[in-house]
Amino acid sequence: MITATQIRGARAMIGMSIEELAAASGLPVETVTALESGEFTGELHALFDVRSTLEAHGIIFLSSGNQDEGGPGIRLRARTSSDDGIRPENLNAANDD
């Protein structure tokens, strides 16, 4: 299972808005918002749809057993194309939606 924090972090890591994630996963914006806030009580398929959408965009979800310290996390899959994503110096609140 993935956590609300992992979903928020993954979306931010790839520069995807809530609306874009909702559209790509075929879910209502309200459902994605509830998943990210940890208040979702609906069907599990929504969580799987969000996870598979984020994985298709290069996110790897780490469980708490995947590292020596800390809890669940995320990372980017190694890129095979020339797309470098958002450079660190260009990260700001404007592209955090």
pLDDT tens track for 41-70: 888 999 999 999 999 999 999 887 655 666
pTM of the model: 0.73
Structural domains in the chain, CATH included, are 4-76 (1.10.260.40)
Q: For the chain, what is the largest distance between any 2 Cα atoms, rounded to a whole number of angstroms?
A: 39
Q: What is the pLDDT of residues 12-36, one digit of tens each?
A: 999 999 999 999 999 999 999 999 9
Q: What is the pLDDT of residue 72?
A: 82
17-45 exposure pattern, b = at least 16 Cβ within 10 A, e = fewer: ebebbbebbebeeebbebbbeeebeeeee
Query: In which band, very low, low, confident or very high, does the pLDDT at 83 lie, cut at 50, 70 and 90?
Result: low
With a CB cutoff of 8 Å and minimum separation 6, the contacts of 9 are: 73, 74
Residue 88, judged by CB atoms within 10 A of its CB (0-12, 13-18, 19+), counts as exposed
